[in-house]
Amino acid sequence: MNKLFFKIFTLTIGFSFLYFPILTLIAYSFNDNKRVMVWKGFSFRWYKELFQNEQILEAFYTSLKIASLSATFATIMGVMIGFSLTRISKIPARPFFIFLSSSPLVMPEIILGLSLLLFFISSNHIIGFPSSKGQLTVLISHITFSVAFVAVIIQSRLSSYDKNIEEAAQDLGTIPNMIFWKVTAPVILPAILSGWLLAFTLSLDDLVVASFTTGPGANTLPIVVFSKVRLGLSPEVNALSAIIMLIVILAAISIYLINRSNIKK
Amino acid sequence: MIKNLKKQNVWFVFTPYLWLVLFFFVPLALIFKISISVSEWGMPPYRDLFSFSENGFKINSTLGNYLFIFSDPFYIRSYLNSLSLAFTSTVLCLLIGYPIAFYVAKSKPSIRNILLIMLIIPFWSSFLLRVYAWKVLLQGSGIINSILIHIGLISEPISMLHNHYAVILGVVYTYLPFMILPLYGYLVKFDLNLIDASNDLGAKPLNTFVKVILPLSLPGIVAGSMLVFIPVVGEYIIPEMLGGSDKLYFGKIIWDEFFVNRDWPIASALAMSGIVILVFPIIIFQLMYAKYNFKNE
Amino acid sequence: MSEPFLQIIDVSKRFDNVVALDKVNLKIAKSEIFSLLGSSGCGKSTLLRIIAGFEKPDEGRILLEGKDITKLPPYVRPLNIMFQNYALFPHLNVTNNIQFGLKEEKISKEEINHRVNEILNLLELNGLEKRKINEISGGQQQRVALARCLVKKPKLLLLDEPLAALDKQLRVQTQFELVNLQYKLGITFIIVTHDQEEAMSLSDRMAIMKNGEILQVGNPVEIYEKPKDKYIANFIGTANIFNVLNKNNQIIIKELNYEVKNINNKENYVKCLIRPEKISVKKLENQSDNLNIGVVKEVAYLGSYTKYLIEVNGIEFYSFMQNSLVSDNLQIRWDDKVQISFNETSIYFFND
């Protein structure tokens, strides 16, 4: 029983540490006081102000747009890399390709951001593209660092994938051009989806790279939030945190339930 | 895979290849180029590496930026601060994360799935907001001070924010899931019979842990440590929000050199040195990972 | 039996209200090969894990040489277990796996090396010392797992489905090797298996388990010839079970409409068993309406013997005939009419 006690003790302390700050933030989002930490009473005041704050709403919209586009392009290219590296042996300068597709994983974001910004400025000088920094440059940057993450997920799925099923499909009469769509794609679909989701989250969460590569009219949500909380506290951000936590928790629960019903079947 | 795809292979390979060369490799080459350029006033604020003038072709290259960085204890200290922050927080994440990952992985499948979801939720939720949460908690009027005053441990609110302890706390908190999840991934695959076998052969629980469990989860430890150590070296947000002036970190120095001092060559030289410094731990990690990543089947 | 070597007394175990073991009692003698046989979920593995010490029984005691070991943790019990999947340490090579347990004992280095070499020779593992576990074959892994246990010189060796992971040919060969090894070393073996053939050919005695209870204990002959009930009869080999009628002091096998004459014990038995190899069939040349006539529904030629499925009066049963006993011109085919005969001493009566 000593062991069980130690286990419950460890898990309780561990999960309290993970959740205590988040839950406090949510609790204080209902505080009817401009001074964040002095409790005055329960109210939805900051939620109302949040939904009237055009700057935040616009940034939220920008972030969603960039994140979904970046995730989609990163997934397409990640799948291409995954297939190239596991299926195609004749790639010119293959080690260099492997280096390129895995280095963004270990590149500190501050260096990535700096290098991309300097690149965009130079490229604007030389060929006039991109004409200015903005959503396009943030998008390009996000695709660049997300590709590597998606590629890793796809590669690990493909390496444990039984190629015989493609031959089986051919044997059963599937024409070669359709095999990818009818067999391969459905099998690696979970990996593709989790790759997309990861790329989406990475983009939505990124502050540093976006801060370097952004320009007028392309303030993402983290940039706006950071500007609000860099020096002080903001009750509106508390409310925003609560909403984001709610979305994440709902998403997590629904994924859990879907998984569970799949297992039961 | 399929012979008919041969023609499509070309763009299958080259689209991402080209993209990464253009937007990853060229920018890196560019900061290398700028790091050996001479800085000057203007736009861009450095002299071109190659110039043609009446005097003919000239290469304006310099190692001055690097010499400048490495002769100034200010920069060296910031590198060391970042490395020690990364090291300390990796060790702390491992010490805190290992038991959690271990017990979650050893739970009954029904409970395990719920606990796993609970581990993933902080991983998914906004990084920035989780750092911000600590800013709220550690305020002079924050909840931790209130509790400490309430139980009588302190009489006056103490300043817990804006020092390097707050930075370590914030880093450990935000990066903990990055340590736990890979550890969990290895521990959950762990064949529990091996623990029984070790016990059966006479090894007491502690010996079983040291001789069997620990070596077999080493790839998870290495992967988790890498996921914490490397990004923390370049971490900017946490020192900016929770840190103070007691310790400066590499990420913030680059940011300031670029945005505040507008010294592109110095910022680039800092970034290049950062890469070089990181290459060593990455190679060590990779070697350890390769050595212990045997097949577990 | 004098002082039993291992004694299991009233051992019960539940998992979340599911009864895994229900008041199990068992006595095992020194140096015997004892099998626990049953289908999956019968509690045999739980019993093995309790003997090894991985699970604590809710009730009951385990005595080894008269000493109560119920509360001892696995690492101090003087017995070892060989796991079904072998549970070899993948991060260690063959030698390090084998000496793992010895290093936990306070033994000198020379002694360890000596004993490891001894066991490597005994199990013919020389030349594999430095190999990783994933670099050796399944049969070699099995021997390493065995060596890892035997090198500790345990008083008792538990084997959980020791041959299940091997392919068929290797399994038969290994069966003999195991028996030889046990004979040489004199260690008591307890084997858990779901394979009745394996249990029959390996064990001195065996216990049949079902739903956490022991149904019958005995040597393979007893269990095969005199099963306590229908479940055991069907579990071990193929069983033809008939109903028995007891009318006016006449004992009649109902389905065959056959009266058993030479019977001493006229107890009220309700069932009887006749093993298929004890029923012989003979092809009938000409049609006749004899009572003991059946129709062949299926024929399976298996080399040394042939299986026939016979129908009589609407019920079906098996007859196995040695092929050496059937002459070629009397080959029995589908739909042939056959005469059935058996010796009355081959009938085994029992209550359901």
Strand, coil or helix: what is C98?
helix
Specify whether C273 is located in the same domain as C221: no
Average pLDDT of span C58-66: 94
Does the CB of C101 have a partner CB in chain B at under 8 Å? yes
Residue B1: what pLDDT?
A: 42
* Helical axes B109-124 vs B164-189, angle rounded to 10°: 140
Residues of A in contact with B129 (CB under 8 A): 25, 225, 237, 240-241, 244
Q: What is the model's pLDDT at position C166?
A: 86
Looking at the predicted structure, is the pLDDT value of residue A1 above 70? no
Chain A partners within 8 Å of B195 (Cβ) = none
Q: Which of A73-77, A149-153, A242-246, B287-291 has the lowest mean pLDDT?
A: B287-291
Test B124 with A248 for CB contact under 8 angstroms. yes
**Domain-embedded: residue B163:** yes
Q: Which CATH number goes with the domain that contains C163?
A: 3.40.50.300
| Chain B residues near residue C81 by CB distance under 8 angstroms | 196-197, 200
The residue ranges of every structural domain in chain A are 1-43+233-265, 56-223
Is the separation of the CB atoms in B61 and B36 below 8 Å? Answer: yes
Mutation target vs A (from B9, B13, B107; most A CBs, 10 A cutoff): B13
pLDDT at A62 over 80: yes
C-alpha span between A125 and A119 (Å, rounded): 10
Of C186, C207, C235, the position where a domain reaches its end is C235
Supply the mean pLDDT for chain C.
Answer: 89
Q: What is the mean pLDDT of residues B212-230?
A: 91
Reported confidence tier of residue C113, pLDDT bands at 50, 70, 90? very high
Residues 136-165 of B with CB under 8 A from A: 136-137, 139, 141-143, 146
CA-closest candidate to residue B66, choices B104, B26, B93, B39: B39
Q: Which CATH architecture has domain A56-223?
A: Orthogonal Bundle (1.10)
Residues C288 and C162 in one domain: no
What does the pLDDT average to over A164-191?
81
User: Do C34 and C164 have their domain in common?
Assistant: yes
- Show residues of chain B in contact with C132, CB under 8 Å: 294
Contact yes or no for B17 and A179 at CB 8 A: no
**d(C-alpha C27, C-alpha C11), whole Å:** 12
Together in a domain, C11 and C134: yes
In a domain, C1, yes or no: no
CB contact under 8 A, B197 and C89: yes
Contacting residues of C for B207, CB less than 8 Å apart: 104
Q: How far is C131 from chain B (nearest CA, A)?
A: 13
Q: Write the residue in A28, A103, A108 that is nearest to B274 by C-beta.
A: A108
**Which chain C residues are closer than 8 Å to B197 by Cβ?**
81, 83, 87-89
Each residue of B82-130: pLDDT tens digit?
Answer: 999 999 999 999 999 999 999 999 898 889 989 999 998 888 888 999 9
Domain check: are C80 and C192 in the same one? yes
Residues C175 and C219 in one domain: yes
Residue C111 lies in a domain: yes
The stretch A61-89 carries a mean pLDDT of 92
- Domain interval for residue B181: 63-292
Beta carbons of B207 and C104 less than 8 Å apart: yes
Q: What percent of chain C has pLDDT over 90?
A: 59
Residues of B in contact with C77 (CB under 8 A): 200
The stretch B128-140 carries a mean pLDDT of 90
Which CATH number fits the domain that encloses residue C260?
A: 2.40.50.140
Task: Identify whether residues C249 and C229 lie together within a single domain.
Answer: no
Share of chain C above pLDDT 70, in %: 95
B207 touches chain C (CB under 8 A): yes
B5 or C106, higher pLDDT: C106
B296 touches chain C (CB under 8 A): yes
CB contact under 8 A, B271 and A116: no
What is the number of structural domains in chain B?
Answer: 1
Q: What is the pLDDT of residue B3?
A: 44
Nearest-by-Cβ selection for B202 from C105, C132, C134:
C105
Q: Mean of the pLDDT values across residues C33-46?
A: 92
Q: What subunits make at least 3 CB pairs under 8 angstroms with B?
A: A, C
Q: Measured between CB atoms, does A116 come within 8 Å of chain B?
A: yes
| Residue B88: inside a domain | yes
Residue C62: its H or E element: strand C59-64
Please state, rounded to an integer, the average pLDDT across all residues of chain B: 86
- Is C87 close to B197, i.e. CB distance below 8 A? yes
Closest by alpha carbon to B174, among B252, B100, B228? B228
- Whether C94 maps to a domain, the answer reads yes
> Which domain range does residue C160 map to?
6-235
Worst-scoring range by mean pLDDT, A6-20, A156-170, C200-214?
Answer: A156-170
The chain-wide mean pLDDT, for chain A, equals 88
Burial of B131 (0-12, 13-18, 19+ CB in 10 A): buried
Place of tokens 């690696």: A188
Same domain, C101 and C116: yes
Does chain A reach chain C with at least 3 CB pairs under 8 Å?
no
Answer whether residue B237 shows pLDDT above 50. Answer: yes
Name the residue facing A244 among B125, B143, B146 (closest C-beta): B125
Q: What are the chain C neighbours of B191 within 8 Å (beta carbons)? A: 85, 87
Measured between beta carbons, the chain C residues lying within 8 angstroms of B194 are: 87, 89
pLDDT of residue B51: 67
Q: Tell me which range, A79-88, A203-212, C161-170, is most confidently predicted by mean pLDDT.
A: A203-212
Contact map slice: A 53-72 vs B, CB within 8 A: none
CA B292 to chain centroid:
22
Q: Would you say residue A258 has pLDDT above 90?
A: no
Q: Does C275 touch chain B (CB under 8 A)?
A: no
B291: closest chain C residue by CA: C91
In a domain, B279, yes or no: yes
C neighbours by CB contacts (3+ pairs under 8 Å) = B
> Residue B45 falls within a domain, yes or no?
no
**Does residue C226 sit in the same domain as residue C343?**
no
Q: How confident is the model at residue B294 (pLDDT cuts 50, 70, 90)?
A: very low
Q: Is C75's CB within 8 Å of B204's CB?
A: yes
Q: State whether C80 and B200 contact (CB < 8 Å).
A: yes
- Looking at the structure, tell me whether residues C249 and C176 fall in a common domain: no
**Which range, of A167-176, B46-55, B246-255, C265-274, averages the lowest pLDDT?**
B46-55
The set of residues, in sequence order, having a beta carbon less than 8 Å from that of B53 and lying 6+ positions away, is none
Is any Cβ of chain A less than 8 angstroms from the Cβ of B176?
A: yes
pLDDT of residue B296: 37
- Residue A259 has what pLDDT? 75
DSSP-derived secondary structure letter, B38: P
Question: Residue B251 is part of a domain; what is its CATH number?
Answer: 1.10.3720.10
- pLDDT tens-digit readout, C314-329: 889 999 988 887 666 6
pLDDT above 90 as % of chain B: 45
CA dihedral B207, B209, B214, B216 (to 10 degrees): 100
Across the interface, whether the CB atoms of C87 and B193 are under 8 A apart is answered yes
Three-state SS sequence of chain A: CHHHHHHHHHHHHHHHHHHHHHHHHHHHCCECCCCCCCCCCECCHHHHHHHHCHHHHHHHHHHHHHHHHHHHHHHHHHHHHHHHHHHCCCCCCHHHHHHHHHHHHHCCHHHHHHHHHHHHHHHHHHHCCCCCCCHHHHHHHHHHHHHHHHHHHHHHHHHCCCCHHHHHHHHCCCCHHHHHHHHHHHHHHHHHHHHHHHHHHHHHHCCHHHHHHCCCCCCCHHHHHHHHHCCCCCHHHHHHHHHHHHHHHHHHHHHHHHHHHHHHC
Does residue A124 sit at the B interface (CB-CB below 8 Å)? no
Return the closest-CA partner of residue C116 out of C148, C89, C79: C148
Closest CA to A205 of A146, A133, A126: A146
Main-chain phi, psi angles of C129, to 5 degrees: -50, -40
| Own/partner long-range contacts of A29-32 (Cβ < 8 Å, ≥24 apart) | A29/A235, A29/A238, A29/A239, A29/A241, A29/A242, A31/A235, A31/A238
Is the Cα torsion angle B286, B291, B295, B296 positive or negative in sign? negative
Instruction: For chain C, positions 48-87, list CB contacts with chain B under 8 A.
Output: 52-54, 73-77, 80-81, 83, 85, 87
Indicate the pairing of strand C305-312 with strand C315-322.
antiparallel
Q: Which of C85, C104, C105 sits opposite B193 (nearest CB)?
A: C85
Is B87 near chain C, with CB under 8 Å? Answer: no
In a mutational test of the C interface, the residue from B193, B199, B200 whose CB has the highest number of chain C CBs within 10 Å is B200
d(C-alpha A144, C-alpha B17), whole Å: 11
The CA distance from C203 to C201, in Å, is: 6
How many independent structural domains does chain C possess? 2
Of A11, A25, A119, the CB nearest to B30: A119
Confidence of residue B295 (pLDDT cuts 50, 70, 90): very low
Angle at alpha carbon of residue C276, lines to C274 and C278, rounded to 5°? 70
**Contact (CB<8Å) A240/B129:** yes
ipTM > 0.95, yes or no: no
Structure tokens at C98: 């084998």
A12 touches chain B (CB under 8 A): no
